[in-house]
Chain A
């Protein structure tokens, strides 16, 4: 992939981000008042809706500018852009990195679920060991020792010393 094609791929990502931002801002107009409260509530010339609607309007304008400028730059770039090729290329080159990122998020969600359900020491130990494995460590003895000692340290620090209600 040459430099111009790389720029075009980056501009495509900008367009996607522009669409996400615009979706958020437009979505705000439909979700700012979930209780369907009457709009005349409020004092001093402002209602509860004035501020979020003003910010959402500003974000819509800014999002549109961002999306349009990215789109125009994308159009002006004469390089060929093959979405499927780019996705395949990115996945092929960064497979391990994407897996680590996705794995980290999944692991964090599972850890969060575990904290409230099972003992903090055990949940931290499992999390640490799995995270080491996810980050491509394969020295199992060191991983085990660090997981146990690390969890023990965390348990002592937060439960015994700081008395946090975990």
Chain B
């Protein structure tokens, strides 16, 4: 493991890779600070830029963006009470009152310190867990992989925001999109509608650009007229003393724990982790009444949790091919686009990339800290710019992301169609991440199910042949029944109200 990690760091210190990681982190901080532009959107913007790069440099840029957006979101949460990303909403509760009380610099300092610390803790956890889980996962057979894929879909549907019913519907639509084109086993067309373009299926880049790029632009056009009123004119980051930070060990340890653990659960993402951490710290505090009025613990807990999810989300992504959140879903797509096969075999076939990504994760955390300290004024300047100047550029990058994947117009049309469809789904509360996950995992599940059945002479009982399979199947059934039960309880409660 250490050899692999040292190799990963060596790759990251390659001047080009290092520069790309730095630029990615810078862009991440920038995009994260802008309300309405989130990490998946930033990664989509970069998609066309990464086409001509090797897999590792391309993913390092994305890792930089992923880490940077986590802290960038807190800048606007603290200075404007408008979180740059949904996960930063929690930071605004105490960060903004701190700014109102004249402690904006200190609030930014707590956020920066906590983000760095949360990222570092979750990195240690990820680096420890990934080789162990990978070693176990490598022994998986086709039936295991199919079941793990189904479990990933069920978990995302269950834990993502909104109801499980909507999550499942999104997943099913994604599965159907993923099954379009020529069936790989029998070479028979499915859902091609007589179109030659659809013979190879819906281009993956088109699905990503449409669902995470165009749909977000269409949705965020409503933010176009909002203007940013800053709480202060003094912009610098004032780091708290190390002693003071250590005194608040309860907040950062709870935040780090929830970040790493919740981040590893597919579908929950940083939003859930930050609120859980904030609630737990508040409930365990000696002065819960101070929360909401500018309590530093109220900034530390969500920020450590927010960046803590970065390492956690890498665990299922790099070991099982199941994304922890929307950004890692796009990274899985990027792995495909660069010819790598995400999933249990990734550690075997792309160990260099995996270790490079892990090394990049730590370096991006350090870069995030340094850039934030040095360039806070620049981020605040960008915060003041009108979105009408930014969105046209986002649209150009997204269009090129789809076009340059095949050098054809068809993926752009597919992306626009999926963008409109994704926007309508999001408007009705269907999380589009479930659609993307269906597109990613669908072909893997189908292929492995068919191979498993071939090996077992068409005996479906092969899926309960071993204890691990029974446990996975049991988890799937439990999650479904639990969610149905919760749904019925919610329905009952709403009726009594």
Contacts and interface: CB of A to CB of B under 8 A. Distances in A.
Contact of B404 (A33, A66, A164): A164
A156 interface: no
Contact of A28 (B52, B191, B404, B458): B191
Interface string B378-405: 0000000011110111011001100110
B272 to A, nearest CB: 23
A24 B458 CA distance: 30
Given A51-B446, A146-B389, A44 B191 contact: no
B366 interface: no
B115 interface: no
B191 A55 contact: no
B399 A45 contact: no
A138 to B, nearest CB: 10
Nearest to B221: A100
A109 B416 contact: yes
Interface stretch (B18-26, B98-106, B175-183): B175-183
A97 B400 CA distance: 25
Contact of A42 (B165, B169, B186, B457): B186
Given A45-B458, A97-B222, A137-B388, A158 B400 contact: yes
A157 interface: yes
Contacts of B222: 97
B189 interface: yes
A104 B218 contact: yes
B454 A127 contact: no
Interface stretch (B244-252, B349-357, B368-376, B407-415): B407-415
A44 B458 contact: yes
A113 to B, nearest CB: 7
Contacts of B455: 44
A117 B400 CA distance: 15
Contacts of A150: 392-393, 396
Contacts of B464: none
Contact of B409 (A35, A112, A154): A112
A126 B160 CA distance: 40
Contacts of B416: 105, 108-109, 112
Nearest to A66: B165
B16 interface: no
A82 interface: no
B409 A33 contact: no
A90 interface: no
Contacts of A78: none
Contact of B188 (A48, A55, A59, A63): A48
Nearest to B179: A52
A47 B392 CA distance: 45
A109 B415 CA distance: 10
Interface in B70-116: none
A115 interface: yes
A112 B399 contact: yes
B214 interface: yes
Contacts of A2: none
A115 B51 CA distance: 18
Interface string A52-70: 1001101100110110000
Interface in B452-495: 452-458, 460
A24 B456 CA distance: 34
Given A131-B395, A158-B400, A164-B48, A44 B190 contact: no
A163 interface: yes
B143 to A, nearest CB: 12
B183 A48 contact: yes
B169 A108 contact: no
Contact of A34 (B192, B451, B454): B192
B155 to A, nearest CB: 17
Contacts of B393: 128, 150
Contacts of A37: 186, 188-189
B191 A34 contact: yes
A112 B403 contact: yes
A35 B179 contact: no
Interface string B417-432: 0011001110110100
Interface in B218-248: 218, 221-222, 224
A46 interface: yes
B395 A137 contact: no
B392 A52 contact: no
Contacts of B173: 21, 24, 59
A84 to B, nearest CB: 21
Contacts of A162: 48-49, 51-52
B316 to A, nearest CB: 23
A104 B217 contact: yes
Contact of A17 (B392, B399, B424, B457): B424
Contacts of A33: 188-190
Contacts of A112: 399, 403, 409, 412-413, 416
Task: Name, among B172, B392, B399, B412, the residue most crowded by chain A CB atoms within 10 Å (CB to CB).
Answer: B392
B189 to A, nearest CB: 5
Interface in A97-111: 97, 100-101, 104-105, 107-109, 111
Given A113-B409, A135-B387, 19 more contacts: A20-B424, A31-B193, A33-B188, A33-B189, A34-B191, A44-B452, A44-B453, A45-B458, A48-B188, A49-B190, A55-B175, A59-B172, A97-B221, A105-B419, A111-B396, A115-B409, A132-B392, A135-B391, A135-B392
Interface of A: 13-14, 17, 20-21, 24-25, 28, 31-35, 37, 41-49, 51-52, 55-56, 58-59, 62-63, 65-66, 97, 100-101, 104-105, 107-109, 111-113, 115-116, 124, 127-128, 131-132, 135-137, 146, 150, 154, 157-158, 162-166
16 contacts: A34-B191, A35-B188, A42-B186, A46-B449, A47-B186, A58-B168, A65-B165, A105-B218, A108-B399, A127-B396, A131-B391, A135-B388, A137-B386, A150-B392, A158-B48, A162-B48
- A-B pairs, top 10 by smallest CB distance, nearest first, are A45-B458, A44-B454, A131-B392, A135-B388, A44-B453, A59-B172, A112-B412, A48-B183, A48-B186, A162-B52
